[in-house]
Amino acid sequence: MLWKNGGGETIEIAVHPPGADLAGFDWRISMASVAHDGPFSRFEGVDRTLAVLTGHGMDLEIEGMGRRSLTAGSDPLAFPADAPTGARLHDGAITDLNVMTRRGVCRHRVALAELRAGVIELRGRWCFVIPLRACRIAVDEAVIEAGPGDAVAFEAPDGRPIVIGAEALAAYLIEIDPSGD
């Protein structure tokens, strides 16, 4: 779909409630190809976290936060989606991961995880694993094979943590909760 400001295209990974448009989501996860410098779409009352999945990276100029640099594999950057923000690419196009939640409705956490072997507990109501390279993720008795460009989704309506096991996992982990939880 087109960006809100018409400056590019995005692939929507997940949105809640299902089928919500850009004005009516509680939370939204997407990947976007950014090929040119320019302004970010503004979303009033929304918090955003951004990470670079591929490419050399970009500098963001965020009102109230100054200049921040993001590169592939760097820690994700959280900032208000309603703050005027401009991007300048380092050296060519990138693909980014964008997580947004409506303030007062939901909140989110995004972390870069690198694991040689072991387990990770995800504690959100909705959880996602966005692999940076091929991996195998074990949950209960199931094994999921995933790679770059994939998204593995989990839902925990009962509040219990989701325990995943993995070998050689390099991924962004996303946890989303209703604001009242």
Identity of the amino acid at 22: L
Looking up residue 26, the CATH number of its domain turns out to be 2.60.120.10
- Taking the complete model, does pTM exceed 0.75, yes or no? yes
| Final residue of a structural domain among 102, 126, 152 | 102
Q: What is residue 19's predicted lDDT score, i.e. its pLDDT?
A: 93
Q: What is residue 156's predicted lDDT score, i.e. its pLDDT?
A: 87
3 domain-assigned: no
- What are the structure tokens assigned to 91, written together? 């050296």
For 97-158, the three-class secondary structure string (H helix, E strand, C coil) is EEEEEECCCEEEEEEEEEEEEEEEEECCCEEEEEECCCEEEEECCEEEEECCCCCEEEECCC
- What are the structure tokens assigned to 126, written together? 């909705």
Q: Please, are residues 130 and 138 in contact by the beta-carbon 8 Å criterion?
A: no
List the domain range (segments joined by +) for residue 139. 106-178
4 domain-assigned: no
Same domain, 56 and 131: no
pLDDT by residue for the chain (181 residues), tens digit each? Answer: 666 655 667 899 999 999 999 899 999 999 998 999 999 989 999 999 999 999 999 999 999 999 999 999 899 999 999 999 999 999 999 999 999 999 999 999 999 998 887 888 999 999 999 999 999 998 888 899 999 989 999 998 787 888 888 878 899 999 999 997 5
For 71-102, the three-class secondary structure string (H helix, E strand, C coil) is CECCCCEEEECCCCEEEEECCCCEEEEEEEEE
